[in-house]
Every structure is written in C-alpha cells, then in structure tokens.
Amino acid sequence: MTFPMRKTILAAMAAAAMMAPGIARAEFINVLTGGTSGVYYPMGVGMSKLFGEKIAGARPSVQATKASVENLNLLQQGKGEIAFTLGDSVISAWKGEADAGFPAPLKKLRGIAAIYPNYIQIVASKESGIKTLADLKGKRLSVGAPKSGTELNARAILAAAGLSYKDLGKIEYLPFAESVELMKNRQLDATLQSAGLGVASIRDLSTSVEIVMVEVPPSIVDKAGLPFIQGAIPPNTYTGQASPVSTAAVMNYLVTHEGVSEKLVYEMTKSIFENLPAIAAAHAAGRAIKLENAVSGMAIPLHPGAAKYFKEKGIQLPATN
C-alpha cells in the first residue's frame, strides 16, 4: 500500500469514528482574547477550560491578540469561534469605519453576550505631577496598541477633554505590560488602559511606583457620549489608591461569526452562564457578568445559538432577533 493511500484510509477511518454513535465530533474552539497582562486573556483561559469540561468533543485553545479590533477582523476571516471585544469596536466593525481599523463592514459578526464593563483607567506616576486630564498636555502617554479597542477609547476620551495626540509630549502605542515597564523605568509619565477592574498590569505598577489615578469627570463622559457610561474605580482597587475615582466605562461583549454552528454557540453560551463562579475565579471582572444583562446594548444580530439559550432562560431578546 502506498503512503498516500494509507494516509487517505486512516483519515477516512478517523472521520468515520467521529461520526459513530456515542463518539462526539471534535469541536475546535479558538478563543480570541488580548494581551496576557489584561483581563481578556485570563478570562479566556477560564472559558477555554470550561468548554473543555462541559462541551462534548471540545478542543479549545486560547489565542493572545491585540484585542478588540484584531479579534473582530479574525472572526470575519473565520479564524476563531469566540472573541472578546469592546462595544464601540463592535459598532465600528459593523459599520466598516476605516479609521477604527475596519476598511469594510464586518457583516459576518454575530453577538453572543454582553459581559462586564471596561473602565478607562488613566494612571500617572506621582512624580510626573499629573493630577487631571488637562495635565496630560506635554506629557508622555501610552494609549495601547495601534487601533486597539483601548486606543480607540483613548482618542474619544482625550477628544472629549479637548485634547489631541498633538497636544501630548510623546505618544506610545504599547500593550499594557510594556507600558508599565516603561513607566517603571521613567520613560513614560502615564498610561491609559481600558480594562476590567484590578487589571494585572496596573496592580503590578502600583506595587512598584507611587501612582495617581486620573479622574475622567462625568461632564467629559457625557461629552464623549455612547457607548461610554459613567463609572467609578472603587477605593483600594490598586495599591495607594485610597479614594474612589470617577471615570468612563464601556461594555465588553463576546462575539462569534455566522459560520459557527448553532449547537456549538448554544453550548458555549450555556457553559458560561451556568458556571459564572468559575469565570469570576479566572478574573474578578467576571463577577460583573449577569444573565439579566446578557443582551444589553447588543449592536449586532445575536447568533441563533445564543438566542436559543436566552429564550430558554426567559430573557427578552432585542427587536432585531
């Protein structure tokens, strides 16, 4: 028997075995997250573990990415089954806003659920003298990876405060962990990070240098408009942060694409919402995930698999579903 023929026969046998009664078909689930020092990645690892335990035949993997914008583009290309993203990035992707990293509308995207809010966390070193948004003028600021969800948030918040990148002394487009390392080395004055509360990068920074959490006042949040809402970073979220800090918040979502089967999306959605303590154990931001808020603010059509699960749970779906 020739090698090519043997290979073909073995492949056919493997396929037949997967289809045999009682043997689950392999379900490859690539979870698109963000940088390893953010919230998306550890939460994605927690979800991946759940999928492996709760979904028959699941073969989950976790991919570290540049987060929202890259994740949505990868989904459109069919290179993932579930992804984390910021709400404003979803809106931009659906419309096809080139300045936000989406040259054409990403119409294959489908929603799974709203999860937890990101908080705009602007952290300055105490020695920089930065106390307010206005004080950022002429200073060195990292705004996240280029055209990432964080960077899009940075543009919007600075614009609402009457600032542009040209007003700053230096702009760095760096992921969270790299921004923190530069601040430790006194090569940056501040970093803007759009993330869940207690993000590892800022916790690391706050234990290494004295920090100041810069407020985003309610008036600036109102001027920025939707999808931003008013929020607050509770006291003692980070070392040395004794008081609450007003800021802007924006909802995060789990998203998939139309090519993923209804059955798989149903199982993923069920695994998440029926095991929320496990998600919260992966990262504290998971404590904010609530079934009753699962379709809140969903700007794209729900995937039929997610819609099926929420209907079973008595959740009223958006009018578009």
Task: Report the pLDDT value the prediction gives residue 24, as an integer from 0 to 100.
Answer: 52
Smallest CA-to-CA distance from 35 within 152, 148, 154 is with 148
List per-block mean pLDDT (blocks of 10 residues) for the chain, which spans 321 residues. 46 44 71 93 98 97 95 98 95 94 97 96 97 98 90 95 96 95 97 93 96 97 90 96 96 97 98 98 94 93 98 90 69
Give pLDDT, residue 10: 43
pLDDT, residue 62, reads 98
Helix (H, G, I), strand (E, B) or coil at 270: helix
What is the pTM for the complete model shown? 0.79
Where do the domains of the chain lie, and which CATH numbers do they carry? 25-116+251-312 (3.40.190.10), 118-250 (3.40.190.10)
On whether the CB atoms of residues 84 and 252 are closer than 8 A, the answer is: yes
| pLDDT attached to residue 3 | 43
Structure tokens at 175: 């992921």
| Residue whose token pair is 């802007």 | 248
Cβ(34)–Cβ(74) under 8 Å? no
Residue 210 CA to residue 236 CA, distance in Å, equals 14
According to DSSP, the residues that pair with 62 across neighbouring strands are 31
DSSP state of 302: B
- Here the tokens at position 273 are 């919402």
**Cβ neighbours, 10 Å, residue 218:** 14
